[in-house]
Amino acid sequence: MKIMKKFFISLLASICSFWTLQAQETAYLFSYFINDSRDGLHLAYSRDGLHLAYSRDGLKWTALNNGNSYLAPAVGKDKLMRDPSISQAPDGTFHMVWTSSWTDRIIGYASSKDLINWSEQRAIPVMMHEPEAHNCWAPELFYDEPTQTYYIFWATTIPGRHKEVPTSESEKGLNHRIYYVTTKDFKEFSSTQMFFNPDFSVIDAAIVKDNKSQDLIMVVKNENSNPPEKNLRITRSRDITHGFPTEVSAPITGDYWAEGPAPLFVGDTLYVYFDKYRDHRYGAVRSLDHGKTWEDISDQTSFPQGIRHGTAFAVDEAVLDKLLQTANPE
240-290 pLDDT tens trace? 999 999 999 999 999 999 999 999 999 999 999 999 999 999 999 999 999
φ, ψ at 75 (rounded to 5°): -125, 160
User: What pLDDT does 3 receive?
Assistant: 52
How many other CB atoms sit within 10 Å of the CB of residue 57?
Answer: 22
Does pLDDT of 231 surpass 60? yes
Q: What is the pLDDT of residues 133-143, one digit of tens each?
A: 999 999 999 99
Q: State percent of the chain over pLDDT 90.
A: 72
Integer Cα distance of 159 and 290 in angstroms: 37
More confident residue, 252 or 327: 252
User: What pLDDT does 230 receive?
Assistant: 98
DSSP states of 96-144 as a string? EEEE--SS-S-EEEEEESSSSSBPPPEEE-TTTT-TT----EEEEEEEE
Q: What is the pLDDT of residues 15-50, one digit of tens each?
A: 444 444 444 588 899 999 998 888 888 888 775 422
Compute the average pLDDT of residues 42-61: 54
**3-state class (DSSP) for residue 313:** strand
Q: How far is CA 120 from CA 133, 172, 189, 297, in A?
A: 26, 37, 18, 39
Structural element, H or E, at residue 62: strand 62-63
Integer Cα distance of 175 and 134 in angstroms: 10
Q: How far is CA 202 from the centre of its chain?
A: 16
Would you identify the CATH topology of the domain 2-325? Answer: Tachylectin-2; Chain A (2.115.10)
Integer Cα distance of 185 and 139 in angstroms: 17
Integer Cα distance of 215 and 237 in angstroms: 6
Q: How far apart are the first and last CA of the chain?
A: 62
Which residue type, as a one-letter code, is found at position 24?
Q
Q: Please check whether residue 131 is in contact with residue 104, taking contact to mean a CB–CB distance below 8 angstroms.
A: no
Integer Cα distance of 311 and 271 in angstroms: 12
Least confident among 95-99, 120-124, 175-179, 300-304: 300-304
